[in-house]
Amino acid sequence: MAEEKLGARTNGEYLHEGVQNFTPTPGLYRVIWVQWVGLYLTDEDMIDFLHRCKDGLSKGGCIFFKENVTTNSFVLDTEDNSITRTDSSYKRLFRDAGMSLLLDR
């Protein structure tokens, strides 16, 4: 666990909850980093999550989003219940969540 490894060496707080329920404090964060969790959310849950993250950003804040991407439709992994989406699928989810894409790598 991060808390065990980092202890008090952080400027933040440790939150232990599922991403589908995570609601950041409105306007608090300059950066929200999302990595390898979107693949476990349905499209609807992803849009709701992105809306909440967007509300959690302070003025000028950004969400960094890192996920695996496939070039063929989508990939469903029945062992871990994850879905790998296409680039266009992620972009549609961002648009549906009212977000603007600033950089795509």
Q: What does the pLDDT look like over 40-92, one tens digit per residue?
A: 999 999 999 999 999 999 999 999 999 999 998 888 888 988 999 999 999 99
pLDDT at 13 over 90: no
Collapsing DSSP states into helix, strand and coil, what is residue 23? coil
**Residue 17: predicted pLDDT:** 80
Measure the CA–CA gap between 61 and 74, rounded to whole angstroms. Answer: 30
pLDDT top residue among 17 and 7: 17
**Residue 3: predicted pLDDT:** 75
Which residue type does 95 have? Answer: R
Helices 43-56 and 87-96, axial angle in degrees (round to 10): 60
**Residue 4: predicted pLDDT:** 79
Other residues' Cβ atoms within 10 Å of the Cβ of residue 75: 14
**Residue 22: predicted pLDDT:** 87
CA proximity to 91, closest of 58, 43, 20: 43
**Residue 30: predicted pLDDT:** 94
Q: Rounded to an integer, what is the distance from CA 86 to the centroid of its chain?
A: 16
Q: What are the E-state strand segments in the chain?
A: 29-35, 57-66, 69-70, 75-77, 82-86
pLDDT at 15 over 90: no
